[in-house]
């Protein structure tokens, strides 16, 4: 499979998650340290970009006051509102320096909920570019990443989940999602395994003369 038919989806690598002082960093800090997910992610992004894959950043943001969602949020969105996270235009909503988009990368706008397909034009972008394989990294392992994985699987994409490029609010939730949920809706692999797969695609394409 040619790498130009592959996209790397980067979900919510934003300061409020990734960086000390971020509104929700304290909730994910321990798991990030356990998995080294941010350093792993930066390596995978560069390797995927060099291999010719499409890099797609998918941040989440809300106008001040969170009027885009219900007046009575519950569950994970309640935590976002209560912590005043991901406010559009704020430092916390910015993509972290380690993962800053390159000029050729795509930034998907409009994510307001968990599934990256739900309130955005992500599916249109992927299909218009002829992409049929996606790999997913980001936050949270068992929330937005998992929701996007399930939706992509339902849409017929070849889905890879990058098990050491995702982060959760606890090691237990992280491990549970990867062990029990990811194999049902994706091909779980480490970032390096994915990079090796991309390298294999490059070699195969070269042997065909294109």
User: Tens digit of pLDDT for each residue in 109-159?
Assistant: 999 999 999 999 999 999 999 999 999 999 999 999 999 999 999 999 999
Residue 209 reports pLDDT greater than 90: no
210 falls in which pLDDT band (50, 70, 90)? very low
pLDDT in tens, 73-109: 999 999 999 999 999 999 999 999 999 999 999 999 9
Residue 60: phi, psi to the nearest 5? Answer: -115, 145
Question: 87 has which bridge partners?
Answer: 62
What is the tally of structural domains in the chain? 1
pTM here is: 0.93
Residues near 182 by beta carbon (within 8 Å), at least 6 away in sequence: 146, 149, 161, 163, 188
Q: Give the SS3 label for residue 130.
A: coil
| 159 torsion bin: left (phi>0), alpha (psi -120 to 50), beta (else) | beta
Domain range enclosing 45: 3-207
Q: Give the SS3 label for residue 79.
A: helix
Residue 1 reports pLDDT greater than 60: no
How deeply is 106 buried, as exposed, middle or buried, from its count of CB atoms within 10 A (0-12, 13-18, 19+)?
Answer: middle
pLDDT in tens, 4-30: 999 999 999 999 999 999 999 999 999
Least Cα distance to 40 among 135, 108, 109 occurs for 135
**CATH code assigned at 117:** 3.40.50.850
Q: Is the dihedral of CA 81, 21, 173, 114 positive or negative?
A: positive
Residue 170: phi, psi to the nearest 5? Answer: -155, 155
């Amino acid at each position: 499979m040619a790498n130009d038919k592959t996209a790397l989806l980067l979900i919510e690598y934003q300061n409020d998650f990734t960086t000390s002082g971020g509104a929700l960093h304290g909730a994910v800090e321990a798991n990030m340290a356990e998995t080294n997910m941010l350093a792993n992610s930066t390596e995978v992004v560069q390797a995927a970009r060099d291999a010719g894959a499409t890099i797609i950043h998918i941040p989440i943001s809300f106008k001040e006051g969170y009027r885009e969602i219900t007046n009575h949020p519950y569950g994970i969105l309640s935590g976002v509102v209560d912590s005043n996270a991901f406010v559009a235009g704020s430092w916390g909503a910015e993509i972290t320096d380690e993962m800053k988009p390159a000029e050729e990368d795509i930034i998907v706008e409009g994510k307001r909920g968990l599934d990256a397909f739900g309130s955005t034009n992500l599916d249109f972008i992927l299909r218009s570019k002829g992409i049929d394989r996606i790999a997913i990294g980001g936050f949270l392992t068992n929330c937005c990443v998992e929701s996007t994985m399930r939706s992509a699987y339902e849409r017929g994409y070849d889905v890879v989940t990058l098990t050491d490029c995702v982060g959760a609010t606890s090691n237990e939730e992280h491990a549970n999602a990867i062990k029990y949920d990811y194999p049902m809706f994706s091909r779980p692999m480490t970032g390096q395994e994915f990079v090796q797969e991309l390298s294999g695609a490059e070699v195969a394409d070269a042997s065909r003369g294109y």
